[in-house]
Amino acid sequence: MSKTVLKQLGRKMPLAESAAIILSFRYGDSRKKAKRFLKESSVENLHSLRIAIRRLRYSLENFEACFSRSSFKSNIEYLKKLQDVIGVGRDLDVMKEKVAHLESECRTIIPRPFYECLSGKKDESLQEIKLELLKFLQNKKTRSFFTGKKED
């Protein structure tokens, strides 16, 4: 994967201006990945979404000094919650892959009810992820915070 180069950034640019550019980019990337996942909820799209949200959160953490304590804290907590919800879905995907691999490697058969239970948990997780993503995409305060554009 190639690095993203943000040409608007300058070497002598104030930290707050750099933060605005980087966070706006990371937020836009997260929105794009969220929309892609909502259209096609594949394992790959979930993984890409998880990475995008993680990068947005870590970028925000790097620029903590640029924000008031309350707005920083509320947005970090929001992103952590979103990461947790997405993480459950991703963990279930990884578990399914690992169990299938072990089943093959150990030449054994995992009982079908286990896979049915796992599939049910994944369906529940997908519904929660989709709900949280719809909230994320519609959240005007979050959009305003990360893009600097006023709420409508």
Distance CA 102, CA 100 (A): 5
Contacts of 72 (CB under 8 A, 6+ apart): 60, 64
Residue-number span of the structural domain to which 29 is assigned: 15-147
On whether residue 115 sits in a domain, the answer given is yes
On whether residue 152 sits in a domain, the answer given is no
Prediction pTM value: 0.89
pLDDT of residue 47: 97
On whether residue 114 sits in a domain, the answer given is yes
CA angle 133–60–21, rounded 5-degree value: 95
The rounded percent of the chain whose pLDDT value lies above 90 is 87
CATH number at residue 121: 1.20.120
pLDDT of residue 148: 86
Q: What is the DSSP letter of 3?
A: P
Q: Which helix (H) or strand (E) holds 90?
A: helix 69-105
Q: Do you know the residue count of the chain? A: 152
On whether residue 7 sits in a domain, the answer given is no
pLDDT of residue 61: 98
CB-based burial, 27-49: b 16+ in 10 Å, e otherwise: bebbbebbebbeeebeeebbbbb
Residues 67-79: tens digit of each pLDDT: 999 999 999 999 9
On whether residue 6 sits in a domain, the answer given is no
On whether residue 107 sits in a domain, the answer given is yes
On whether residue 1 sits in a domain, the answer given is no
Q: Which residue has the tokens 């399914």?
A: 96
Local mean pLDDT, 10-residue blocks, the chain (152 residues): 69 89 96 98 97 98 96 96 97 95 94 95 98 97 90 58
pLDDT of residue 12: 83
Total domains, the chain: 1
On whether residue 10 sits in a domain, the answer given is no
pLDDT of residue 27: 98
